[in-house]
Chain A
Amino acid sequence: MEPIYVVLIIILIIWCGIFGYMLYIDKEVKNLTKKLKKLEKTEINEA
């Protein structure tokens, strides 16, 4: 395989790993924030 393609594959693995993980965290933060807000609203309503 041409060396330049190997370099590109390696860079692709790194960026996919980092950005994939960032997207995963972002999604989790958004979901849990929604859940937290919902719980807070319920508590306020109950009070």
Chain B
Amino acid sequence: MNKIWQFGLFVWLFLVSLAAFMWAPLAEGLGEYTRILYFHVPVAWVTVLAFLIGAVFSIVYLKTRKIIYDQFAEAAGQLGILYCILATVTGSVWAKVSWGSFWNWDPRETSIFILLLIYAAYFALRSAIEQEDRKAALSAVYSILAFITVPFFIFIVPRVYSTLHPDPLINTRAKIDMDGKMLTTFLSSLFGFTVLFFWIFKRKIDLVKIKLALRKMEN
């Protein structure tokens, strides 16, 4: 069963990639760069999802005080950072060809950079405290506070300040201005990337469980 849905996901993502290149039309003004939308935006979306899951597990940890939930929150944070770096790097490559340089301190770039710093500090905090309970409690509180800034930096700042970045999917008039084929490809990609994220997260959870079991046996 596991193999079947893994194969299904692979086929799904392959079809999305094909649709992005051969089926979906190009957007006016963006030309070939339109295709980036189907990969760069889902990666940014998964970043938000990972940080949200991290915050939820942090709340669960603070309620139950079970160390496993702190480890789950850390795993989600690690994935969030990975996706955030991928979104930043790919956005930066696009900025080089569109705006002339890799980094322009555009509101969108600045906000994602600050977000990266906030979550880098989460891991710095974790590595700075040795006592496990204290580390877990402080990290949980920090993770919740850090997530409060995510909607602000990802959704609000780029809409409030004028930016060179192409319009977000849901624009300032709260409408989706997108061709039907483009929207289908985009939503399919978003779905595929989300399922892929949950697959990787499940593997991370397996890893956490094995590590805890090992620690138990070694003690």
A residues whose Cβ falls under 8 Å from a Cβ of B: 1-4, 6-7, 9-11, 13-14, 17-18, 21-22, 25-26, 28-29, 32-33, 35-36, 39-40, 43
- Chain A residues with CB below 8 A from B195, complex form: none
Which B residues form the contact surface with A (CB < 8 A)? 17, 31-33, 35-36, 39-40, 43, 82, 85-86, 89-90, 93-94, 97, 196, 200, 203-204, 206-207, 210-211, 213-214, 217-218
- Is the pair B203, A43 in contact by a Cβ cutoff of 8 Å? no
Task: Pull 28 A–B residue pairs with CB atoms less than 8 Å apart, ordered by A.
Answer: A2-B32, A3-B33, A3-B97, A6-B32, A6-B33, A6-B97, A7-B35, A9-B93, A10-B39, A10-B90, A10-B93, A11-B35, A11-B36, A13-B89, A13-B90, A14-B43, A14-B86, A17-B82, A17-B86, A21-B200, A25-B200, A25-B204, A25-B207, A32-B207, A32-B210, A36-B214, A39-B218, A43-B217
Q: Tell me the smallest distance from the CB of A45 to a CB of chain B, in Å.
A: 14
Q: Contacts A7-B35, A29-B210, A40-B217 given; 11 further ones with Cβ under 8 A?
A: A2-B32, A6-B32, A6-B93, A7-B32, A10-B40, A14-B43, A22-B200, A32-B207, A36-B210, A36-B213, A43-B217
With A36-B214, A40-B217: A25-B86 Cβ-Cβ less than 8 Å: no
- B143 CB to closest chain A CB (Å) equals 20
Report chain A residues within 8 Å CB of B214.
32, 35-36, 39
Total number of A-B contacts with CB less than 8 angstroms?
72
